[in-house]
Structure 1
């Protein structure tokens, strides 16, 4: 898959939006629309997975293995750090149980004993429960002929969402996997299908779609539109289509900084809250006003993610790549 710089910029914006959301929340402010970065991530993820699968044609096992290698090790490391910090008493409000720890490492949606929310030890890891479930379902449809994959995927995701809307399940597992958020992956996959079929809207609509989606996000942020998948999923899809239209016209320039932030977006997403917690605690000790603490939180969260991208994510990816290359050499011999 040729690198689409517009996609990288979207990933960077989504990750930074989540960073600002958490920095504001921890410093007594509000930037709720920043959390919509998750919705953008889900739509982009559906797009990327569809395009990768259709262009590379991996086996279901190979697809799932690659996704596990990409997602799991770094998440497990971050979760282990949180568990160690909790056991050491660094997070006074954190309550740990054996199942909470097990469920966090196993991508099992469960109720946190700390506050009753449906999330793992590393709170933002709740989105990875959705991602891993999507990967499993997507790997399953790869067993089918190419022409049947999207209809079956749409049928399964549509059935899950309809089931959730009809039953409103209370259990964390059913509540998670029948959430309307599941539709965001399907929207991304549908856009990926249109992209590969060269059936995108005219390039002239790219900029208006981007502007319209940003205006929509702003209206959600100011409370004029409801916050939720029913609003954010179409806006995220509109934003992605707009960016792809501009990309198709060759109007997206390669800029090193946002591209790098896009590459590091997963590390930023995983590690930023730990750095923000340190800054908030230090700001309280030093008596820093809310605004400087807020700015420092954003900077620290982003830098922590970049460091982990360089020191953990890239070496882990390189190790898996070298391992695959070594196996190919062995098989060839």
Structure 2
């Protein structure tokens, strides 16, 4: 195992899963944007329902996040300043790119579309769930994919607050806090944003943390068992959930896509895993966050331009839109990672942690 510049482990199989999760979400959203572009142009095209399964990439991300937090903190547990170290690394990793993309999208909408209200924008920058008027009151920020970051930042805050001298005690504390929150959400009519934050999805982080403990205990599974786990995960993911999105029942999502995320993660980390071109998979994992943040703004811009010029649209146009925006998102993610995310992250870490810089 090696480490990234931001202190995260670069287990090749985890990097591969990061990229797969980002790519699945990318394909899922490309189909949605393409479909509604067709609706605007008066074209009804068939929707491949299996692409809705790309939404499971989010659940896989949550499992990976829980796993990575424990693994990356393993050398730091019990040390002086561990809590500060963790928070600095998380903030530097998540905040700069997301803020830049959010403000860029808001500026675009102020000129070419309906801008989000000030409360929604400020709430997004603070990672506080808030209903967005331009999204029919749904609990999403201006970059709609950013709703997942509201869960991520909650998890990071709990992890830092529950940080103990060892991995096991930390995992137990965080897991208990998440479980109590979900229980409160199930039993009480909580107001927002508490109702949002107590969604059963947050337990997906706990599963990832538990797998990190199993991984560090030295547990390794034979290949047939891991293949069976991966097969079971696909069986849980692939049924057509298109009719359930975006209102996928919370517990059903946890028990299908959430469990699938744990199974895929376990199948890849609990045993040897050889990938061709490991350097490319590492790179794919490295750019996955940038791809995740930039893809919806890029698709919105392309969709707006297409609608403005009233370019012809049909099956071929849909294919061009989907492949073009997906490829563009990957390129944009690479550019942002190399020339914004990495240099800004290095500078901020040097400022916040001068001794380690």
Paired residues of 1:110 and 1:119 also in contact (CA < 8 A): yes
Q: TM-score with structure 2 length normalisation?
A: 0.83
Report the 3-state secondary structure (helix = DSSP H, G, I; strand = E; otherwise coil) of the residue aligned with 2:206.
helix
Q: Identify which of 192, 204, 229 aligns with 1:209.
A: 229
Deviation at 1:254, TM superposition (A): 4.5
Q: Identify which of 203, 216, 221 aligns with 1:196.
A: 216
Paired residues of 1:39 and 1:232 also in contact (CA < 8 A): yes
Give the corresponding residue for 1:68.
91
Give the corresponding residue for 1:33.
53
Deviation at 1:279, TM superposition (A): 2.4
Paired residues of 2:59 and 2:204 also in contact (CA < 8 A): yes
Of residues 149-158 and 225-234 in structure 1, the stretch that sits farther from structure 2 once superposed is 225-234
Q: Decide whether aligned partners of structure 1 residues 250 and 312 sit closer, same or farther in structure 2, where only a CA change above 3 A counts.
A: same
Give the corresponding residue for 2:348.
320
Give the corresponding residue for 1:293.
321
Q: Identify which of 51, 68, 74 aligns with 2:71.
A: 51
- CA–CA distance in structure 2, aligned partners of residues 156 and 126 of structure 1: 21
Q: Identify which of 256, 262, 265 aligns with 1:231.
A: 256
Q: Decide whether aligned partners of structure 1 residues 147 and 127 sit closer, same or farther in structure 2, where only a CA change above 3 A counts.
A: closer
Give the corresponding residue for 1:280.
303
Indicate the structure with greater helix content: 1
Structure 2 stretches of 5 or more lacking a match? 3-9, 36-46
1:262 and 2:285 aligned: yes
Structure 1 stretches of 5 or more lacking a match? none
Deviations 1:60-80 (A, max 9, x none): 121111100111111111111
Give the corresponding residue for 1:5.
12
Deviations 1:201-225 (A, max 9, x none): 3344222212221232112557799
Paired residues of 2:92 and 2:349 also in contact (CA < 8 A): no
Deviations 1:274-312 (A, max 9, x none): 211222233443214222222222222222222211221
Give the corresponding residue for 1:180.
200
Paired residues of 1:20 and 1:34 also in contact (CA < 8 A): yes
Paired residues of 1:274 and 1:301 also in contact (CA < 8 A): no
Report the 3-state secondary structure (helix = DSSP H, G, I; strand = E; otherwise coil) of the residue aligned with 1:108.
coil
1:137 and 2:128 aligned: no
Q: Decide whether aligned partners of structure 1 residues 51 and 220 sit closer, same or farther in structure 2, where only a CA change above 3 A counts.
A: farther
RMSD of equivalent CA atoms: 2.3
Deviation at 1:56, TM superposition (A): 3.0
Give the corresponding residue for 2:31.
24
Report the 3-state secondary structure (helix = DSSP H, G, I; strand = E; otherwise coil) of the residue aligned with 1:20.
helix
Paired residues of 1:279 and 1:296 also in contact (CA < 8 A): no
Deviation at 1:53, TM superposition (A): 1.7
Paired residues of 2:143 and 2:297 also in contact (CA < 8 A): no
- CA–CA distance in structure 2, aligned partners of residues 122 and 45 of structure 1: 20
Deviation at 1:146, TM superposition (A): 4.9
Q: Identify which of 65, 90, 113 aligns with 1:91.
A: 113
Deviations 1:217-249 (A, max 9, x none): 11255779986222111111001000113xx32
Q: Decide whether aligned partners of structure 1 residues 46 and 145 sit closer, same or farther in structure 2, where only a CA change above 3 A counts.
A: closer
Report the 3-state secondary structure (helix = DSSP H, G, I; strand = E; otherwise coil) of the residue aligned with 2:74.
helix
Deviation at 1:16, TM superposition (A): 0.8
Report the 3-state secondary structure (helix = DSSP H, G, I; strand = E; otherwise coil) of the residue aligned with 2:305.
helix
Aligned residue pair count: 323
Deviations 1:185-210 (A, max 9, x none): 00000000110111243344222212
- CA–CA distance in structure 2, aligned partners of residues 263 and 40 of structure 1: 16
